[in-house]
Structure 1
Amino acid sequence: MTYAADQAPTSVMAPYFPDTSASAFDDARQRMVDDQVRPLEVNDPRIVTAMRALPREYAVPENEQEFAYSDLTLPLGKGRYLLQSMVTARLVQMAAIQTGQRVLVVGAATGYTAALIAMLGAEVTALEEDASLLAIGTAFTTRASVDVSWKQAPLSGGAPESSPFDLIFFDGAIEEIPRFCSTQLTENGRVAGILRPDDGTSSAFLAEAETGEGWSIRRFFDSEAPVLPSFERPAAFAF
């Protein structure tokens, strides 16, 4: 995975856009879709159309806006990130979201993924615990004229007052599926995101609850993403 400049160095740096005019951002947005998203077989026309329209530059802190359309995972502060657009696009396409479905986006941060899913016709609840990220996110979805319901609460508890959901979508990696998912899904509901278990095989996944306890998990493609801090396992004690 490619990170922004203040993270681990990479051999290739994404282009820098010193021109922050509306037309420059619009041009960069179209290039993002054509060069980063469509080559990875993201062929759902709803996703392509939405990503051509969503002003991603407003979903990042002001000092990161020139990198908004670069092929980077962008730091948002406090261990949180905006995933690469190609990763977001593939995850959303994998989830096969249908009009009218009720979706909980966990770790919605600045709202880009929540807005994208809402533009597919879903009824979206965006869960975020950090007040500064939530402020950017609500301003972003308002500016983009996208209907998203925001909830500020600890990520680890989900949104029980708004459940059940047809899909719980984690906007970042998790190390295991949290317990709240089993009680906040509809009968045939699913969980989606990036799973990074102890064996180190980080991949995009869809999961459905099995009869009794446990999950039936399907892995789709290898994908790296930072783990959402709320879902990191405590470090094991070493002698």
Structure 2
Amino acid sequence: MAAPLTPQDQAYGMLSERTRRRMTERLRQHGVSDERVLTAMFEVPRHLFVDQALATRAYDDVSLPIGHGQTISQPLTVARMTELLIQGRQPGKILEIGTGCGYQTAVLLKTGAEVYSMERLGAILDQARKNLRAAKLVHARLVHGDGYLGLPEAAPFDGILIAAAARAVPAALVEQLAEGGKLVLPLGESEQHLWLIEKTAQGIQKSRLDPVKFVPLLNGRG
């Protein structure tokens, strides 16, 4: 769980604007072009979503441990997945599978999305709630549940983002996509790639994209 911020950490946060701007410029250089995503990445204080001891590395383009065998994804991956999900349209209603520390949730909220986020580990979800509260982003609907099952009572979704690697595309989540909706997820075990799944009037379209590395998507909840 992220430790409470000390006055020193708060000062670091206030001084991090320049650091965040360097991060967003790196994202732009790596091909992220949606200004809504770049603005969201700049505005979300990533240092609030990592352990206090790692705060000075918060804006490096690396994944970091958040406890319980989970990680916060590197900024480029978060930006890339967000851009794939909302590119060319309004964000609409989005289901996130794998809340983690809440950072991806925060970025989605900052783009204007209506966010439902599911996490299988109760302790991690509690941490995410605290982190989002510290960042003054409290209007996501956080759910403790099995991401493989999705959230049928809130479907259909304009977009679904899975922040853990599945072995195959979960059929229940494809079912919960609205027509015209997009599902972005990592697939694979030792070798993983991002995939974009689009639900059209003509059927399901699948595109394999960047190589990535995520923790596995697990069934159940804990």
TM-score (norm 2): 0.82
Q: Deviations over 1:151-205 (max 9, x none)?
A: 111222212222221111111322211121133222332211222268x3x3222
Q: Deviations over 1:107-143 (max 9, x none)?
A: 0111111111121111110111212221221222233
1:79 aligns with 2:73: no
Q: Distance in 2 between matches of 1:205 and 1:190?
A: 10
1:68 aligns with 2:58: yes
The answer to whether the 8 Å contact 1:208/1:216 transfers is yes
Of 156, 159, 167, 2:151 maps to 159
Question: Which residue matches 2:4?
Answer: none
Question: Which residue matches 1:110?
Answer: 101
Letter in 2 for 1:109: G
Q: Deviations over 1:78-127 (max 9, x none)?
A: 33211110111111112225436110000011111111112111111011
Letter in 2 for 1:114: T
Residue 110 of structure 1 aligns to a residue whose secondary structure is coil
Letter in 1 for 2:153: E
Question: Which residue matches 1:219?
Answer: 208
Q: Over aligned residues, Cα RMSD in angstroms?
A: 2.4
Question: Which residue matches 1:48?
Answer: 38
Letter in 2 for 1:104: L
Q: Deviations over 1:49-70 (max 9, x none)?
A: 1111111111123333232112
The answer to whether the 8 Å contact 1:107/1:170 transfers is yes
The answer to whether the 8 Å contact 1:79/1:229 transfers is no
Q: How many residues align?
A: 208
TM-score (norm 1): 0.77
Residue 32 of structure 2 aligns to a residue whose secondary structure is coil
Q: Distance in 2 between matches of 1:31 and 1:162?
A: 38
Letter in 2 for 1:217: K
Question: Which residue matches 1:207?
Answer: 197
Q: Unaligned stretches of 5+ in structure 1?
A: 1-18, 232-239
Q: Percent identity?
A: 26
Question: Which residue matches 1:26?
Answer: 17
Tell me: CA distance 1:163–1:25, structure 2 relative to 1, closer, same or farther (3 Å). same
Q: Unaligned stretches of 5+ in structure 2?
A: 1-7
**Where in structure 1 do 4 or more consecutive aligned residues deviate above 4 Å?**
209-212
The answer to whether the 8 Å contact 1:80/1:228 transfers is no
Question: Which residue matches 1:137?
Answer: 128
Q: Distance in 2 between matches of 1:66 and 1:38?
A: 22
Q: Deviations over 1:2-54 (max 9, x none)?
A: xxxxxxxxxxxxxxxxx7422343332222222x3111121111111111111
